[in-house]
Amino acid sequence: MNFMPIRRVAAASFRGTSKRLYSSALSKAEIEATKAEASVGSDTWKKISIYLTIPLCMTFGVVLMKDEMEHIHHLGEHPAVHEPFEYLRVHRKDFPFGDGKRTLFFNPLVNEVRE
């Protein structure tokens, strides 16, 4: 199959145009049409963000907060049992914050309180 005739036809069609084929050669009408189309698209996404995404995030936040509060209540009633394995939680040097014995994200409901 020979592709030379297709290339010659394509090249001949570009030779007859005086207009350059990149964005700086757009006319004012084309630029305005592009801006109008972009404005419609950005307005659509703005509406989706405000009227769909934010309420969904708030709804899921309320549902998950309810579940998390039940979980925290359950942890208060049934505290975790910590096995005293010597290879876990190796602590040779005090932390530079708090009392030095607890990590930055220490949670007394979940983490073992060591003295």
Q: Over the stretch 34-66, which tens digit does the pLDDT of each residue have?
A: 898 888 889 999 999 899 999 999 999 999 999
- Tell me if 51 is assigned to some domain: yes
User: Is 36 a domain residue?
Assistant: yes
Comparing 6-10, 46-50, 83-87, 105-109, which segment has the lowest mean pLDDT? 6-10
Q: Which of 20-24, 62-66, 80-84 has the lowest mean pLDDT?
A: 20-24
Residue 30 belongs to some domain of the structure: yes
More confident residue, 13 or 73: 73
Which two tokens mark 95?
């932390």
Amino acid at site 57: C
pLDDT in the model for residue 46: 92
**Is the pLDDT at 4 greater than 60, yes or no?**
no
Full residue range of the structural domain in which residue 37 is found: 26-77
| Inter-residue contact 114 to 89 (CB < 8 Å) | yes
* pLDDT exceeds cutoff 60 at 102: yes
Domain count, the chain: 1
Rg (CA), the chain: 33
Sign of the torsion formed by the C-alpha atoms of 93, 98, 101 and 103: negative
